Amino acid sequence: MHNPSTFHGLRHTHLTYSTRSFYYLSGADFADCAVTYDIARDNLILWIPYTDPRQALWFGKTPSPEECKSRTSVSDVRYIIELPRYLRRYLSSRSASSGSSTTTVYILHPSQPPPHPEFLGSRGILQIDTVSLQPAMDAARVIKSTWEIAAIRRANAVSSAAHRAVLTRLKKMTNEREIEALFRGYCIAVGAKKTAYGTIAGAGPNAATLHYDANNEPLAGRQLVVLDAGAEWSCYASDVTRTLPIGGKFTKEGKAIYSVVEKMQESCIRAIRPGFQFVWLHVHAMTIAVSELLKLGILKGSAKEILAAGTGAAFFPHGLGHHVGLEVHDVSGRERLMVGAGVRVKARGGGLGKREMFSPEMMAGLYRAGMVDGRGEGRAKLEKGMVVTVEPGM
């Protein structure tokens, strides 16, 4: 008989983007730990490695149980060597109290089973579920706590200051790589040792490559540079994108396009609130883009017809934004922000995960689906505590 589980387990070898849930539960950001949560007893235990003094001589100490306890809000911190015994005791107490022969342990990844399963009792006692925990974790992670919002704000403050530092030096720079170096150097110097994703510093035509990361071309002869770069603070991401005039002044044309994007952004930021369907904000941004491009004479015809044809996607092909949290493209919870309205483009590296892209046909479909008034049902709605980017572009 199946025994409803009261126990969740996760294991952590190093803090890659896929194991951010480990940090979410445990507050530990070093390797070779595990975390267990016994829901019935509300007992969250962080299991940490013991560092041999010879290891410590070369690589330094890992935090002690006392240090971990003082830094996190877990119920207890123990050495990981004791974990198999804890699990064995847990399993036998579960089967004794429920009279059932099977107990389910929920884990996040099939590649991270509990240690020494052969030690955990005879076959049939332990059932490992590798699919149910992930959606539950994502649903929890998508609504941010006050502490998490403070960490994201701190990351944003560092990024904003680093962007300003770039701006003050830009006229003296000669190559994209100097922009990346200054941005990253500034973040490191103020304590944000990692960026949330690979820095994008694209000048001239490179600015049109959404995830350009070569950052090694000259600035001479180019008008604008896009700096899309964000620091990380306590493992929480920020994501800030700005277009800067390389010579210090916008040309008339550069300013005109900059102002269109600024208008899209400010209008969406004014409109955003809990209960809104994010995908509607995307359509709203597109509506502004089309009307402004008509005013500039770049598009010709009727705004309604252009929107219905989806032509705007040729200028603004990416989704308006995404969740931000422990990952820069953070988990979506039960429903994706853009609800699969576009195609998901896979990441090539650098920490930037998938983003939603729109072909003109898809944009036209979205427009036709009646999203313009924001009342269409079945679309993901924003909730209090979610943190999302608003990043239109052209």
* Chain contacts with ligand GLY (rule: CB under 6 A): 228, 239, 241, 322, 352, 355, 391
Cβ at position 235, least distance to ligand GLY in Å = 18
Cβ at position 2, least distance to ligand GLY in Å = 42
Over the range 158-171, which residues count as b (16 or more CB within 10 Å of their CB) and which as e?
bbeebbebbbeebe
Q: Rg for the chain (alpha carbons), in Å?
A: 25
φ, ψ of residue 237 in degrees (nearest 5): -95, 160
* Stretch binding Mn ion (CB under 5 A), from 32-40, 90-98, 238-246, 257-265: 238-246
Cβ at position 322, least distance to Mn ion in Å = 6
- Contact in structure between 359 and 343 (CB atoms under 8 Å): yes
For 26-34, which contacts have Cβ atoms below 8 Å and span 24 or more sequence positions?
26/72, 26/74, 27/68, 27/71, 27/72, 27/73, 27/74, 28/63, 28/68, 28/72, 29/235, 30/62, 30/63, 32/80, 33/80, 34/9, 34/10, 34/80, 34/83, 34/115
Cβ at position 349, least distance to ligand GLY in Å = 13
Residue 355 interacting entry, from Mn ion, ligand GLY, none, C-beta within 5 to 8 Å by type: ligand GLY
Q: Per CB under 5 A, which of residues 50..89 are in contact with Mn ion?
A: none
Q: What's the burial of 228, exposed, middle or buried (CB within 10 Å: 0-12/13-18/19+)?
A: buried
| Largest interatomic CA distance in the chain | 78
Cβ-proximal residue to Mn ion, closest one: 239
* Stretch binding Mn ion (CB under 5 A), from 59-67, 132-140, 169-177, 239-247: 239-247
Residue 352 interacting entry, from ligand GLY, Mn ion, none, C-beta within 5 to 8 Å by type: ligand GLY
* Stretch binding Mn ion (CB under 5 A), from 14-22, 53-61, 168-176, 236-244: 236-244
Q: Does 330 bind Mn ion (CB under 5 A)?
A: no
CA distances from 169 to 25, 178, 183 (A): 41, 10, 11
Distance (Å, rounded) from C-alpha 219 to C-alpha 13?
41
> DSSP string of 321-347?
--B-SSSSS---TTS-TTTTSSEEEPP
> Nearer to ligand GLY by C-beta: 74 or 352?
352
Cβ at position 304, least distance to ligand GLY in Å = 30
Cβ at position 52, least distance to ligand GLY in Å = 42
Q: What's the burial of 248, exposed, middle or buried (CB within 10 Å: 0-12/13-18/19+)?
A: exposed
Residue 228 interacting entry, from Mn ion, ligand GLY, none, C-beta within 5 to 8 Å by type: ligand GLY
* Stretch binding Mn ion (CB under 5 A), from 82-90, 307-315, 362-370, 386-394: 386-394
Residue 184 interacting entry, from ligand GLY, Mn ion, none, C-beta within 5 to 8 Å by type: none
Q: Does 232 bind Mn ion (CB under 5 A)?
A: no
Distance (Å, rounded) from C-alpha 372 to C-alpha 380?
15
Question: How many residues contact Mn ion, by CB under 5 A?
Answer: 2
> Nearer to Mn ion by C-beta: 179 or 229?
229
> Nearer to Mn ion by C-beta: 9 or 319?
319
Cβ at position 304, least distance to Mn ion in Å = 30
Q: Does 239 bind Mn ion (CB under 5 A)?
A: yes
Residue 10 interacting entry, from Mn ion, ligand GLY, none, C-beta within 5 to 8 Å by type: none
Distance (Å, rounded) from C-alpha 228 to C-alpha 262?
15
Cβ at position 391, least distance to ligand GLY in Å = 6
> Nearer to Mn ion by C-beta: 300 or 348?
348
Beta strands in 76-129 (DSSP E): 76-79, 103-106, 126-129
Positions that interact with Mn ion (CB under 5 A)? 239, 389
